[in-house]
Amino acid sequence: MASLATSNPKPSKRLVSARQKWRAKTNYEPKRFTGFAPISFAMVAEIGRLTTGKATQLLYVSLTASLGQIVKKDQPFKETSAEHSTSDLAELCACDERTIQRELGDLKQRKVILWEQPKKGVNVITPLFRSWEKLPDYKPAPVEEPKLEADDEPETGDPAQADKQTTYLTKTPVRVAAGKKSKAYKVECGVSALQFDVRQLDADCSAMVKDGVLLVTLEPRWDGKNLGGSMLQQKGIEEKPRQGCRISPNPTESKGTKGERGRKGEVTRVNHHRAEELSSLFDPLIHRWCGKTLSGDPQALLQSCIAIGETPHDVLVKAGVERGSRTLTPLHVLSLCKEIEHNWRKGIGLPQADKLPTREEIMAMAEADRKELAEKRAAARRGRVA
């Protein structure tokens, strides 16, 4: 009896997962690993199983911040990011800073990244993508809450309970007369930087260390109100205040403006975003004619700031300089600003005026007109003779 021949079974094809295929597309061994883009296939293949929620977005941002730095063609990609603030990372990931701190701590604990903080609020991230393939899948687990940073600590009104890094050199502000120097105060702490805090009046600040003493010099910038008063004192002239017309700004227009008022309700100091711009433009022009300044009349300055509205700076300067050739006082500035703002609004969208011809072009056009007129007269004479 013939034996039945049995055919050998076909070998089954080995199934290769998509993640294994993507891993095979990247080789980390060369000096500059395979791939035109710094974020390779193998990295993307592991992110989905290592992270969830905002941590996924944070990991993509970390890869871009580190490997996305510009290098030359023959150089390897940078694997450590530059310094990035916690607030910037929160903005890029569309979440709050506490979430960023929490996710960074979790990724560091699971050895997905190397997280360093050179100082409070500054982060340096190194994605450990070369070992991601060996890490286990993400599993939900309790995450340790991050510690409060300096900006999150509650404020206390008592200076004695303030931050330990704060050292008060003076208990109260020290008043120093013009042209004088204060006594030297001993500094019992290390100083790594210097910061100026100037209030009320603009000032030019400078500092130097001389014989172990840090000397800070503050020189107030030119102020029109002080200049006008000092000139009157030198001349011995006391001008009586005149009763001028009282113009109250429209409450709807003055919304959003700020100013400090005295006991009688008059404005004593203007805090408007265009006050310095108008003062620097009109103060020299006004002072040339009447010895006063716009900054010395806060009421007129505030009304002028409201009247000028959103007129561009270039339009304001051009109109102000043209008007400055005539007599100009603080009371004139208000009407001038209204006129400039009105003309600017009416001119929005209108075609620009053609460029005026030069003197040479005008002379050429006149010469052409004379030749044309001479030819017409000659033709008329020839017609009469015929």
Task: Report pLDDT digits (tens) over 55-109.
Answer: 899 999 998 898 888 888 778 888 899 999 999 999 999 999 999 999 999 999 9
| Domain stop point among 146, 176, 192 | 146
Residue at 154 is within a domain: no
For residues 386 and 273, state if they share a domain: no
For residues 319 and 374, state if they share a domain: no
Host domain of residue 331: 256-347
Q: Whole-angstrom distance between the N-terminal and C-terminal Cα of the chain?
A: 141
* 259 closest CA partner among 228, 294, 300, 231: 300
Q: How is residue 177 annotated by DSSP?
A: -
In which residue are the tokens 């034996």 written?
3
For residues 373 and 328, state if they share a domain: no
- Computed over every residue of the chain, the mean pLDDT equals 75
Rounded average pLDDT over 375-379: 89
Comparing 240 with 283, which gets the higher pLDDT? 283
Residue at 80 is within a domain: yes
From the number of C-beta atoms within 10 Å of its C-beta (0-12, 13-18, 19+), residue 145 rates as exposed
**Model confidence pLDDT, tens digit, residues 260-276:** 555 455 556 788 888 88
For residues 116 and 73, state if they share a domain: yes
* 324 closest CA partner among 340, 308, 343: 340
For residues 315 and 385, state if they share a domain: no
Residue 129 confidence (pLDDT) above 70: yes
Residue at 289 is within a domain: yes
Name the domain count of the chain. 3
CA distance 185 to 198: 20
Question: Is 307 in contact with 334 (CB distance < 8 Å)?
Answer: yes
Residue at 107 is within a domain: yes
Answer whether 0.75 is exceeded by the pTM. Answer: no
Q: What is the largest CA-CA distance in the chain?
A: 144
